Chain A
Amino acid sequence: MSGCEWRLFSRGTLAVLLALKLGMQKGFISWLSLLLVSFYPFFASEARGASHETLFRDGANAYRAADYETAAKILRESVLRYPASGTYQNLGLTEWQRSQPGPAVLAWEQSLWLDPFNQSARNNLRFARKAAQLDAPDLSWDEVISTWLPVNWWGWIVCLSLWLAFGAISIPIFLRRPKASWHQSIAAFGLMLFLLGLPAQFGVHKRERIGFVMEKGTALRLTPTLEAQTTSQLFPGEPVRCMRSRGEFLLVRSNRSTGWVQRKQLGFLATQPTGNPIVN
């Protein structure tokens, strides 16, 4: 941990201890202590952010020095600590330079997963798919809608719009205020956002099941066993849709065929580099 991180952590911890002491002296949790305690996650996240920034810079420097192995290692560590769109973009570039199209495509997809407005990552994906002759995932209409905004925005939109609509209807009743047209307008607006956000939410859920082939020569097997007959080979970066799982194998459907693939040979959008895919 760098000096900056230590400083921030120690500052946050000191603030919490001071707040607790004050609270004990007064016999109750004072507003100050509550304020400081509520700011503790901010201090902690700031420290984490500082570490992430350092790793981001180190990774970029290693990339500029053409030391792609080191750059990939640092950037992977960075996205593990704090996933960020730009970091994934740089990780994708590094993996591409390392002749690893599968991890590169996944990193750029994850960059767009966090920030669909990142045009550089989008162009890089187009470039990689053209160069490697790969297909883009075949998205349904609800999945396409879900790509319009960052993935977490849809959750907030659905949640806040629902409570906004409910509140606009019920709070005037509780407060014994006469019904006004603006109450109904807010309720209608909230309900509209809620209904629009629901398909996108469903699309996000479905996109979590899209995986990308990480390794060269990934075999698509007839049955979920290592001794199974290989029906075809998948290319690195090729998208597949996970249908179900059995042990260490996943039943996937690619644009060409369906078969079983080893779980470790795929990378998923909602999975960080060393994590596990989300498969029910």
Chain B
Amino acid sequence: MISRSVRGKVRGAPREANLKFAQSVWRPALAGFSIIVLFLAIAVWGQAPAANPPQDPLMTLLLSQPKIEIGSAVTAIAWFDPPVVRPGQLSFYRVTFNALEESIEWPKEIAAAPKLELRPGARGQFFQPTGSGTEPRTTFSYRAKTFEPGETTIPAFTVQVYGKRISVPAARLQVDANVAQAPAQQLILDITNTNLFVGQPVSVRVLLPSAAPGLLQVFTQMQLVGQGFIMDQGAAHQKMESMMRDGSNITVFIHDTMLIPVVAGKVNVFAQAFTVGQRIPHPTLTNNPATLTPTMPQFVLIESESTELSVKPLPRDGELPGFTGAIGTFSIDQPKLATNSMRVGDPVKLSVTVHATGFSRLVPPPAPKSADWQVLAATPQGEPAQMLQTRGVATFDYTLIPMSEGTHATPLIPFCCFEPSRAAYTDLTIPSLPITVLPGRAPVDMAAMLQSETNSNEIEEELTLSGLANIPGRRAATLVPIQGQAWFPAMQIAPIAIFLGLLGWERRRRYLETHPQILVRRRARRALRRERRTLRRAAQGGNVSVFAASAVRALRIGSAPHFPAEPGALVAGDILQLFRVADDDSRQPDGTLAVVRRFFAITDASRFSLASANPAELLILQPEIERVLAQLEARL
């Protein structure tokens, strides 16, 4: 007998087993969960001190800049500098806004008095310090000149700024031959050479002589203004020099830079910059006088005279292979090879040193294509162009891989430059160097593999502008397509008319085939007229036999279609019968039958009778026979 406790144990055994199983699952799970939570907590705790991310340096730089005030009311100041000039003396008309340049919709033309010559000049933007921040100042400058004494005014006008209409006040220019006022301060633009080739660099000096001895005046934001050139900012540097001017030793601020024309033709260039104004514009007209702050230095936009450059394109004649835009004076040293003995497939470095002066860019010549060599393009050593210009030396490193054992020299690398002083190209081809190539360890099909790789990496076809066309080529009277021109649709009438004509001709032909007598009568009429003409000519010439024969033939021809019969088969009786039939309705004149009989009788007699007939008497019957023939023709 099983006791209760034992029964209980027996009944409770599966429950304990379940519990143990549950514990064996949950315990490791809870332990793992706890470990993960612990690690996460440690990780979060460990990262807690780095909660503040570092600020973006660009944002820091932006925030450190002084605030630009663009919220204040926009005002415009307009003035002439100098305000009083002698006739023909240059004065600058300037309009300055306290607004960003991009926000101003400046008119293309300004209404001015006809006697005032006004040419557009510099325009620029400067951020004027205002104590707590900066305020944009945009200036538009014009060159004004007039020869007529008196006062000239540019009237007030409006300009859209930030989408609002802002009034530009009027400005007055006084022209007086007796007043000698100092001219407006200008920059001096000194360009060493004004006859250039495209891509040829030229040194540019922009000078600002101080307004007075002992005074140092500098400028900033210098720009060369014009189209068709680029200014090499990297080559720019400033300096100060002393020079004698009007008997005084004054300080000159000089900005040296380099200009490179990029298009051929006439290129106009002038310099502009901001400098602290030495002369307060007076009289100054403004639409808000309170904005003038005489205590603060006023930056004025000044400019130089315009200089015209004559830029020629590089000549196509004489251009040598390997021209990569190198313009200047160049020379190359003997190339250096890392080793002169190698195995097939081993790379070797070829270094070429180029010496250059007066250049703006130096691009290594492209790697040549050779069956015996794989040449990897030269890698410049990474110096900036300005450093190259300063040093005047550059080194190109080519990597050469021999592809066969039969190679005894490195490939020629075509290279050339254009020398503006000679206006000619100079050959700088990198020469070949002797080399020994030993059998390689690489598989024999390496050449093919490298070759295919070279093809796949082939340089994309370089697009260039073509030369001039030598002949005008295919022409047209107009660019409008022919279907758009009036004559072309009209011309289609011609084939339509031809086809309609053919259609009509065919229908007429079918009609005539069913009514052949029309053709017979038409032919008879034509032949009758012909005979009548012959008859008349014979009568005029007195040829009696021809006259009689023509008359008889005409009578036969005119009568034949009525039978129908061949004209030659008809005799006088047939023709007389025709007239008698016709006489049924209208009575024939008595002479008609007699005339017909008579003509036939005499002609038959002259043909068949032995007795001679006298046809001469027939001539007097010409009116009668004409009348008879007219009757016959009318019946056809």
Chain A positions near chain B (C-beta within 8 angstroms): 49, 52-53, 56, 60, 63-64, 66-69, 78, 82-87, 89-90, 93, 96-99, 110-111, 113-115, 118, 120-121, 123-124, 126-127, 130, 150-152, 154-156, 159, 163, 166-167, 170-171, 173-174, 201, 204-205, 208, 269-272, 278
Minimum Cβ distance to chain B for residue A141 (Å):
19
Beyond A97-B263, A123-B463: 15 further Cβ-contacts under 8 Å?
A: A84-B474, A86-B471, A87-B472, A90-B469, A96-B465, A97-B264, A98-B265, A99-B228, A99-B263, A110-B479, A123-B466, A124-B466, A152-B482, A204-B481, A269-B479
Minimum Cβ distance to chain B for residue A187 (Å):
14
Contact A97 B463 (CB under 8 A): no
Q: Which of A97, A154, A167 meets B265, CB within 8 Å? A: A97
Contact A171 B473 (CB under 8 A): no
A-B contact pairs, 29 of them (CB 8 A): A52-B472, A56-B472, A60-B468, A63-B468, A64-B468, A66-B264, A66-B313, A69-B266, A83-B479, A84-B474, A86-B471, A86-B473, A89-B466, A90-B469, A97-B263, A97-B313, A98-B263, A99-B263, A114-B474, A114-B475, A115-B474, A156-B482, A170-B499, A171-B502, A204-B481, A208-B481, A270-B479, A272-B478, A278-B484
Cα distance, A89 to B311, chains bound together (Å): 22
Cα distance, A140 to B474, chains bound together (Å): 25
Q: Which 6 A-B pairs have the closest CB atoms?
A: A86-B469, A86-B473, A120-B466, A84-B472, A85-B473, A115-B474
Q: Given A156-B482, A204-B481, are A83 and B502 neighbors across the interface (CB < 8 Å)?
A: no
Contact A271 B469 (CB under 8 A): no
B498-538 to A contact mask, C-beta < 8 Å, 1/0: 01001101100000000000000000000000000000000
Contact B495 A163 (CB under 8 A): yes
Cα distance, A85 to B466, chains bound together (Å): 14
Contact B503 A86 (CB under 8 A): no
Which A residues are in CB contact (< 8 Å) with B463? 123, 126-127, 130
B11-49 to A contact mask, C-beta < 8 Å, 1/0: 000000000000000000000000000000000000000
Asked if B476 CB lies within 8 Å of chain A CBs, one says yes
Cα distance, A159 to B489, chains bound together (Å): 10
Cα distance, A85 to B475, chains bound together (Å): 6
Contact B468 A90 (CB under 8 A): yes
Asked if B381 CB lies within 8 Å of chain A CBs, one says no
Cα distance, A21 to B186, chains bound together (Å): 77
* Chain A minimum-CB-distance residue to B471: A86
Contact A99 B469 (CB under 8 A): no
Asked if B464 CB lies within 8 Å of chain A CBs, one says yes
Asked if B157 CB lies within 8 Å of chain A CBs, one says no
Which A residues are in CB contact (< 8 Å) with B311? 66
Which B residues are in CB contact (< 8 Å) with A87? 469, 472-473
Asked if B312 CB lies within 8 Å of chain A CBs, one says yes
Cα distance, A156 to B491, chains bound together (Å): 11
Which B residues are in CB contact (< 8 Å) with A127? 463-465
Cα distance, A153 to B73, chains bound together (Å): 65
Cα distance, A96 to B262, chains bound together (Å): 12
Which A residues are in CB contact (< 8 Å) with B475? 49, 52, 82-85, 114
Contact A86 B472 (CB under 8 A): yes
Contact A114 B476 (CB under 8 A): yes
Q: Which of A84, A126, A130, A174 meets B473, CB within 8 Å? A: A84
Residue with the greatest number of chain A CB neighbours at <10 A, chosen from B463, B502, B503, B506: B463
Which A residues are in CB contact (< 8 Å) with B469? 85-87, 89-90, 120
Q: Which of A53, A126, A155 meets B483, CB within 8 Å? A: A155
B452-468 to A contact mask, C-beta < 8 Å, 1/0: 00000000000111111
Contact B265 A118 (CB under 8 A): no
Minimum Cβ distance to chain B for residue A91 (Å):
10
Q: Which of B263, B266, B478, B484 meets A208, CB within 8 Å? A: B484
Cα distance, A89 to B464, chains bound together (Å): 14
Asked if B340 CB lies within 8 Å of chain A CBs, one says no
Q: Given A84-B475, A97-B265, are A151 and B466 neighbors across the interface (CB < 8 Å)?
A: no
Which B residues are in CB contact (< 8 Å) with A123? 463-466
Asked if B58 CB lies within 8 Å of chain A CBs, one says no
Cα distance, A115 to B492, chains bound together (Å): 25
* Chain B minimum-CB-distance residue to A63: B468
* Chain B minimum-CB-distance residue to A120: B466
Which A residues are in CB contact (< 8 Å) with B503? 174
Residue with the greatest number of chain A CB neighbours at <10 A, chosen from B311, B312, B473, B503: B473
Contact A114 B479 (CB under 8 A): yes
Contact B481 A270 (CB under 8 A): yes
Asked if B194 CB lies within 8 Å of chain A CBs, one says no
* Chain B minimum-CB-distance residue to A91: B469
Contact A155 B473 (CB under 8 A): no
Contact A83 B313 (CB under 8 A): no
Cα distance, A69 to B263, chains bound together (Å): 13
Cα distance, A103 to B447, chains bound together (Å): 49
Cα distance, A130 to B464, chains bound together (Å): 10
Q: Given A85-B474, A127-B464, are A68 and B264 neighbors across the interface (CB < 8 Å)?
A: yes
Contact A66 B312 (CB under 8 A): yes
Asked if B480 CB lies within 8 Å of chain A CBs, one says yes
Q: Which of B466, B472, B479 meets A93, CB within 8 Å? A: B466
Minimum Cβ distance to chain B for residue A196 (Å):
16
Cα distance, A16 to B431, chains bound together (Å): 71
Cα distance, A170 to B506, chains bound together (Å): 11
Minimum Cβ distance to chain A for residue B393 (Å):
32
Contact B228 A278 (CB under 8 A): no
Minimum Cβ distance to chain A for residue B485 (Å):
9
Cα distance, A66 to B506, chains bound together (Å): 68
Which B residues are in CB contact (< 8 Å) with A130? 463
Cα distance, A174 to B484, chains bound together (Å): 33
Residue with the greatest number of chain B CB neighbours at <10 A, chosen from A63, A78, A86: A86
* Chain B minimum-CB-distance residue to A156: B482
Which B residues are in CB contact (< 8 Å) with A113? 479
Which B residues are in CB contact (< 8 Å) with A173? 506
Cα distance, A122 to B484, chains bound together (Å): 25
Contact A174 B481 (CB under 8 A): no
Asked if B488 CB lies within 8 Å of chain A CBs, one says yes
Which B residues are in CB contact (< 8 Å) with A151? 476, 481
Which A residues are in CB contact (< 8 Å) with B492? 159
Which B residues are in CB contact (< 8 Å) with A110? 479
Q: Given A68-B265, A118-B473, are A155 and B481 neighbors across the interface (CB < 8 Å)?
A: yes
Which B residues are in CB contact (< 8 Å) with A201? 483
Cα distance, A78 to B484, chains bound together (Å): 22
Cα distance, A78 to B265, chains bound together (Å): 21
Which A residues are in CB contact (< 8 Å) with B312? 66
Minimum Cβ distance to chain A for residue B305 (Å):
22
* Chain B minimum-CB-distance residue to A158: B483
Which A residues are in CB contact (< 8 Å) with B479? 83, 110, 113-114, 269-272
* Chain B minimum-CB-distance residue to A118: B473
Q: Which of B228, B473, B478 meets A89, CB within 8 Å? A: B473
Cα distance, A186 to B228, chains bound together (Å): 59
Contact B480 A85 (CB under 8 A): no
Cα distance, A154 to B483, chains bound together (Å): 9
Which A residues are in CB contact (< 8 Å) with B464? 123, 127
Q: Given A83-B476, A97-B264, A123-B463, are A155 and B499 neighbors across the interface (CB < 8 Å)?
A: no
Cα distance, A113 to B475, chains bound together (Å): 11
Minimum Cβ distance to chain A for residue B236 (Å):
24
Asked if B227 CB lies within 8 Å of chain A CBs, one says yes
Cα distance, A115 to B422, chains bound together (Å): 40
